[in-house]
Amino acid sequence: MTITDEKLKELKVANPDVVVLATRSGDEIAVKPPSEAVYMRWQTTGKAGTAEAYASTRQFLFDCTVFPDKSTLDSLLERRPALLQVFVRQLTKMAGAEEEIEVRK
């Protein structure tokens, strides 16, 4: 699924911070940066490596995805399940996870 420039402009009307995450194989989703509440819910739900943590990670992606709809995204993740981690890694970057910090003494 490709997100056209026209569709991206339409999505940005509702949320100017929307970006497109595109794989090299052509799968695209439009996401907004996670809010603090969404990020905190994801970070505090489930112990790493559990089914609950996996479900929480999926919900984190769904909460941030503005296009396509949940059903289409579900289908994409069923075909290519590792994309969940790829997309979530980018969302954490958008939330500041890889921001460089300067330490002064």
Domain boundaries, the chain: 5-91
Q: 68, 7 in Cβ contact below 8 A?
A: no
Supply the pTM of this predicted model. Answer: 0.90
Percent of the chain with pLDDT over 90: 80
CA 15 to chain CA centroid, Å, is 15
CATH class, range 5-91: alpha beta
List pLDDT tens digits, range 54-90.
Answer: 999 999 999 999 999 999 999 999 999 999 999 999 9
Ramachandran assignment for 49, one of left (phi > 0), alpha (psi -120 to 50 degrees), beta (any other): left
